[in-house]
Structure 1
Amino acid sequence: MRRISIFIGLVVLLFHTSCESKKHETKDETKYLVSSPIRKDTSITKDYVCQIHSIRHIELRALEKGYLQHIYVDEGQFVKKGQPMFHIMPNVYEADLQKAKAEAEVAEIEYKNTQLLADGNVVSANELAMAKAEYDKAKAEVKLAETHLGFTDIRAPFDGIMDHLEAREGSLLDEGELLTTLSDNSKMWVYFNVPEAEYLDYITSANNGTKQQVELLMANNRKFDQVGVVETIEGEFNHETGNIAFRATFDNPKRILRHGETGSILMTVPLTNALLIPQKATFEVLDKKYVFVLDEKGTVQQREIHVGAELQHLFVVEKGLSENDKVLLEGIRMVKNGENIHFEYLKPEKMLSSLDLYAE
């Protein structure tokens, strides 16, 4: 009986040892995919927070004192150039015009009489000149009175969308008091700030003066249906932020965009001879990015890298790797720093195509 127990124990031990050996052998024979970084001309899309302005945005103010007699428009209404918007009670200004016209008629009569006397050498040439000056002054007063009267009728200076009404009918207005604002939304100016380094890249890579096309991502995270162009760059950098303002212009035929909106400008920036690696080959430790690099003996070494830009599935590496390095693509959580592994090398071109990324 004792011999049988010993025999069974030996069988169990041999079986267990065989299983452990097979497991160890299976682990040792695991092959990991590795590849090398690849250099390629590509492009990235950078986004910049932007402010959206109407191409023309003005304040409409009362140019004369008086009671606001009529409001012909409503808030948010689209108005046409020349369309009446506000009317200030004109009684005082009509009276001033009638008075100026009467004084001009008197001055005209005096001038004509003096002209007749001057022709008969009754009065001097100086008296005639004084009469002529008084007549010219009176005509100027008529023009001025007509202008003041015209200021009581406020019309749209251009096609646009009006904003909030700042006064109501019957209000007593002071000279210069704000009535509303008017925005020409046929085109929009979109302002965004670019860091100095990116500005220099933009300027040095400008293609024979061709205007850079950009897209607008609206606040609802949808792209605006028109493509804009960068038309101007401000003359000075902001010394506090190190940025400079760009201005892009967008057509706005459907009047979707309004003055004061925000969004993001999407600008495609070319990258020449960029060093690319898959994002899945990296891992983070304390906000720093690392990869596992293999030496000639297949030993895994952890190495820090500096990422310059992010693409779909890819990182652009600025520092830490070269084209000759072999980088672990899979099994990052299964290996340890300094461990020897079996690996299978995947050509960079094949690695890139497997990521389903079209880098041009």
Structure 2
Amino acid sequence: MKNSRILFLALCLIAASCSSKKETEKADSHEVINPIVKDTSYSSEYVAEIQSVKYVEVRSKVKGYIENIYVDEGQSVTEGQLLFTLNFLEFEKELQKANAAYKNAVADLKAAEVELANVKLLVEKNIVSKSELDVIKAKADALTASVEEAKAHKEQAALYLSFAQIKAPYNGIINRIPNKVGSLIAEGDMLTSISDNREIFAYFNLSEIDYLNYISSVEKKTKTVSLKLANNALYGYEGKIEMIESEFDQSTGNIAFRARFPNPDAILKHGSNGKVVVNKQLKNALLIPQKSTFEIQDKIYVFVVNQDGVLKQRNIIPKMRFPDFYAVESGLSKDDKILFEGAENAKDGNKIQPLPVDLATAMSLSSKD
């Protein structure tokens, strides 16, 4: 009888110990959250080629030697300002010859007109035949054509003479001058280039998917873009997208965009590079913290907590990754409860005591820590 009582007490102690252990296990609590649904903004960066709104290569229209250079590299010039002169003695001689030929043709025409007038009087008096008058008229017409031809030659010679004086086509900055005084310049050779950098174009390419997402956006703000410079500094002025090309590049599958940026401080230069930053909106995004996820073989998982507090491993497909969040494409709903922290130490099937917390509050406290 005594042994039975001892055995009974031992069993009670073991049961009490197990009960206490289970209660201890049940006391293990973890924070759980619901995914939040909200509109969120994000940005995409695209490599951009920067070009001046106005850029032209100044080339010689005639062959000759550079006689004078009136500007220096990096100098600001105004429209019509003289930049270079080529040796124009030959052109001056040609113009003189053309002027002389024109004057000679005019004199011949005047003589023919006087003769024509005299023949008309003689025809009226029946002294000469009408056929002779026709001959004189034809001669006068030929001399009129000669005058027009001489005038054209004179204007052409004057034009070639003007080509020996190279002037600025618009206000801008002189770039490199590769040839110096005395250099022989062939027709079409580049003398320098001029850039007007008060505004610049940034050309960048979007994939077909990004293009479709862009044009389907109803946000007018998406036309406003930023520019990140080569040193990753953000340019101080915003630009606007003003042009999209009409076709995709078949070799790359991309389509070109053009944005215009002001450049009052002349920081941006023709031929430089940067990144256009396009701000976008993601409507009704289902967001969860990255700390609530873990990876297995390049797949992303979370622990979903069921009504009994049991953890169930579930694969999710992210739509987009942000610095601290994932926007979930599929695998979760806003009503699911997931483990907030400690997913790397949890196991499928573990039972926890859920402590519901507000996601926004939890992330705020976490960022302060």
TM-score using structure 1 length? 0.86
SS of residue in 1 equivalent to 2:344: helix
User: Paired residue for 2:202?
Assistant: 190
Q: 2:29–2:353: 8 Å Cα contact kept in structure 1?
A: yes
Question: Residue deviations 1:73-98, cap 9 Å, x none?
Answer: 22233222222222111111111111
Q: Tell me how far apart the structure 2 counterparts of residues 265 and 355 of structure 1 sit (CA, whole Å).
A: 32
1:54-69 matches, within 5 Å, as 54-69=52-67
Q: Contact between 1:51 and 1:260, CA under 8 Å: does it hold in 2?
A: yes
Give me the whole-angstrom Cα distance separating, in 2, the residues matched to 1:259 and 1:86: 23
8 Å CA contact 1:82, 1:156 repeated in 2: yes
The answer to whether residue 269 in structure 2 is matched with residue 271 in structure 1 is no
Residues 114-138 of structure 1: CA deviation (Å, up to 9, x unaligned): 1112222265222111111111111
Q: Would you say 1:321 and 2:332 are equivalent positions?
A: yes
Residues 103-160 of structure 1: CA deviation (Å, up to 9, x unaligned) = 1111111111111122222652221111111111111111111111111111111122
CA apart distance, 1:354: 5.4
Counterpart pick for 1:176 among 188, 210, 214 = 188
CA positional deviation for 1:255: 1.2
SS at 1:143 equivalent: helix
- Deviation, 1:204, is 1.9
Matched, 1:112 2:110: yes
**Partner in structure 2 of residue 147 of structure 1:** 159
Q: Does 2:227 align with 1:229?
A: no
Residue of structure 2 in register with 1:91 after alignment: 89
Cα distance in 1 for residues equivalent to 2:109 and 2:224? 67
SS in structure 2 opposite 1:120? helix
Distance 1:65 1:350 in 2: 77
Q: Percent identity?
A: 40
Question: Aligned-pair distance for 1:353?
Answer: 5.8
* Pairing 1:216–2:227 present: yes
CA–CA distance in structure 2, aligned partners of residues 309 and 188 of structure 1: 32
Corresponding residue number in structure 1 for 2:7: none
Q: What is the number of equivalent residue pairs in this alignment?
A: 338
Q: Is the 8 A contact 1:50 1:263 kept in 2?
A: yes
Give the SS at the match of 1:337. Answer: coil
Taking the aligned partners of 2:190 and 2:65, their CA distance within structure 1 comes to: 14
Separation in structure 2 between the aligned mates of residue 119 and residue 327 of structure 1, nearest angstrom: 112
Q: Are the counterparts in 2 of residues 218 and 263 from structure 1 also a CA contact under 8 Å?
A: yes
| Secondary structure of 1:161 counterpart | strand
Greater alpha carbon shift after TM alignment, 108-117 vs 298-307: 298-307
Deviations 1:1-37 (A, max 9, x none): xxxxxxxxxxxxxxxxx9xx99997665232111111
- Provide the aligned C-alpha RMSD in A: 2.5
Q: Distance in 2 between matches of 1:52 and 1:355?
A: 41
Structure 1 contact 54–184 (Cα < 8 Å) conserved: yes
1:263-299 alpha-carbon deviations (Å, 9 max, x no partner): 1111111211111112222233343332222222222
TM-aligned CA deviation for residue 38 of structure 1: 1.5
Alignment of 1:233-272 (within 5 A): 233-272=244-283
Measure the CA separation in 2 of the matches of 1:302 and 1:133.
97
- Structure 1 residue 334 displacement after superposition: 2.5
Question: Considering only CA atoms, is the larger Rg found in Structure 1 or Structure 2?
Answer: 2
